[in-house]
Structure 1
Amino acid sequence: MSDGVQEKKWAFWIDRGGTFTDVVGKRPDGQLVTHKLLSDNPEHYRDAAVAGIRHLLGLASNAPITALQVECVKMGTTVATNALLERKGEPTLLVTTQGFRDALRIAYQNRPRLFDRRIVLPELLYAQVIEANERMGAHGELLQALDVDSLHKPLQEAFDAGLRSVAIVFMHGYRYTTHEAQAKELAEKIGFTQISTSHGTSPLMKFVSRGDTTVVDAYLSPILRRYVDLVAADMPSVPLYFMQSSGGLTDAHAFQGKDAILSGPAGGIVGMARTAQLAFANMASHEQVQVIGFDMGGTSTDVSHFAGTFEREFETQV
């Protein structure tokens, strides 16, 4: 505060793609400025988003970015999207109820292309499966208590083999969470650094959908966390927000793999919709804004449509 008037600061909006990063900055006087640079250029900078901010602020390559200069940074990114598409996520262990090791592979046995003679199954994201001797009934009855002792050995072996990320998905675990919590506690003691439980990640019915979401969270969250930490380290005092697949923003420290798959595309759709509404603000009240969006990046291309309101999908296949 200066003389009772809050000093204006910079604000930044960033689209961090797989090939290019676009930075839009709003100067304290309200003027918008932009900068475009390669997302990966390790000979010149550690991270493109931070380098772009420093460029617009006129800072040296190693100068700190502080809250005295910047009000906030809001970012959409395809880091998780591209890691999923290119299968570059964290090697993941799946721990599930005994007898259900192949449930996510079998899935719902849908045949979207009924007459194809050669069936190509989706590539699984987990590297290994451990079956836990446990079972809760659909109404919460204890059918088999979790055998923690028998689970310890295979978990330790997986850890010793180099796995650090684990997804825990038990039958009816979305509602009756005791066994998943016990397995998580054991994994923490062993040393796993990323532990995603189905009741904490996707507390919903449907074993396969819940399991897939939990696995993808365990698979992508470590990659995402490393990137978020990289950005935040260069501006620790600046409020940093990331776009989620839902089209809303979240604090950097709450940004999870399951919410980041469509982070970049969602930001593009929100921007497209707002731009269209402004462009067609003079349309007659009975007419509806209808726009097709085409967002082509270096790794993936996204097509969307907007017809006056956002349409929500609660299950998505990528």
Structure 2
Amino acid sequence: MSTWQFWIDRGGTFTDIVARDPDGKLSTHKLLSENPERYKDAAIAGIKSILGIALDAPIPPNLIDAVKMGTTVATNALLERKGDRTLLLVNKGFADALRIGNQARPRLFDLALTLPTMLYEQVAEIQGRVGVDGTEIESLDETQARETLAKAKAAGINACAIVLMHAWKYPEHERRLAELAREAGFTQVSASHAVSPLLRLVPRGDTTVVDAYLSPILRRYVDQVASELTGTRLYFMQSNGGLTEAHSFQGKDAILSGPAGGIVGAARTAGMAGFDRIIGFDMGG
């Protein structure tokens, strides 16, 4: 091996780095995840420190083979409600479907329920309906859709989530709305048939809204890191514990990116030590 490899856990408080040099020697580094007076991004700053490169100098291309990272960027944005302003498009009569949810009551006898705030800022009902068998019951009102999208865009909203009945199997209306949203200038368009093509409107809708809400902030972070790593393979850990290439990393797959790394690491370490039953404990900052 003639190049470096890096494994990074970018948490909300600290960023931890494990590096392997071209000779196979391992080293570690720890630094604050947020320290704007010294560096723009902790992961890149840590890599430069290990390589002995000045923080304001570029990383030479082809010096690093791969960087594999878990991050709580999406997790914290969701918890702190710092995602992008989002418009939700639904069928006529379903504006409150995600707010009503599935009516699950974790505490059955509570008289006053405190519901979480919705991630979308605006919701609009669009004329058009496809039946359970794929029959078009009502044609899509593209004029209304264009007007709705233009109004939301003028208000400064740049993310759009599209969730229609039966679209998991018959996505034609969703596809057309997605085209109209992109034509209107929305930089993030998440359609449920592409994000989560599954039965049941509410969970499919929740996943789609999360994707629209978080993907922009995640994309900005991923692009920032990738811009500093020319010629380097960049991977991010998903909520399912698997790695994906940077360009495929989406908001819906990033919520548990950081915590998933702890679970995978604990299981692998325990297995190497001969244990098949363990209790893991992962404490953040």
Q: Please list the CA deviations of residues 130-165 of structure 1 after superposition, one character each: whole Å capped at 9, or x if unmatched.
A: 110010001101101100011111210110000000
Q: Are the aligned partners of 2:67 and 2:233 in contact in 1 as well (CA < 8 Å)?
A: yes
2:133 to 95, 119, 139: 139
Corresponding position of 1:251 = 245
Q: Which amino acid aligns with 1:37?
A: L
Greater mean alpha carbon deviation, residues 198-207 or residues 23-32: 23-32
Matches within 5 A, 1:24-173: 24-173=18-167
Q: Please list the CA deviations of residues 172-198 of structure 1 after superposition, one character each: whole Å capped at 9, or x if unmatched.
A: 111111101111111111100000000
Matches within 5 A, 1:186-225: 186-225=180-219
Q: Please list the CA deviations of residues 50-85 of structure 1 after superposition, one character each: whole Å capped at 9, or x if unmatched.
A: 000000000111222244311100000000001111
Q: Are the aligned partners of 2:70 and 2:237 in contact in 1 as well (CA < 8 Å)?
A: yes
1:290 to 258, 261, 277: 277
Q: Please list the CA deviations of residues 232-270 of structure 1 after superposition, one character each: whole Å capped at 9, or x if unmatched.
A: 111121100000011100000100000000001111100
Q: Are the aligned partners of 1:54 and 1:65 in contact in 2 as well (CA < 8 Å)?
A: yes
Q: Which amino acid aligns with 1:115?
A: F
How far apart are the structure 2 equivalents of 1:61 and 1:122? 41
1:229 to 205, 223, 231: 223
How far apart are the structure 2 equivalents of 1:258 and 1:237? 27
Q: Which amino acid aligns with 2:274?
A: F
* Partner-residue secondary structure (3-state), 1:186: helix
**Alpha-carbon RMSD:** 1.0
Corresponding position of 1:241 = 235
- Structure 2 runs not aligned, ≥5 long: none
Q: Are the aligned partners of 1:92 and 1:165 in contact in 2 as well (CA < 8 Å)?
A: yes
- Structure 1 runs not aligned, ≥5 long: 1-6, 282-288, 299-318
1:268 to 250, 262, 266: 262
How far apart are the structure 2 equivalents of 1:67 and 1:250? 21
How far apart are the structure 2 equivalents of 1:230 and 1:195? 21
TM-score normalised by the chain length of structure 1: 0.88
How far apart are the structure 2 equivalents of 1:280 and 1:187? 53
How far apart are the structure 2 equivalents of 1:236 and 1:113? 51
Structure 1 residue 170 displacement after superposition: 0.5
Equivalenced residues, count? 285
Q: Are the aligned partners of 1:66 and 1:238 in contact in 2 as well (CA < 8 Å)?
A: no
Higher relative contact order (CA 8 A, sep 6+): 2
* Partner-residue secondary structure (3-state), 1:166: strand
TM-score normalised by the chain length of structure 2: 0.98
1:19 to 6, 13, 28: 13
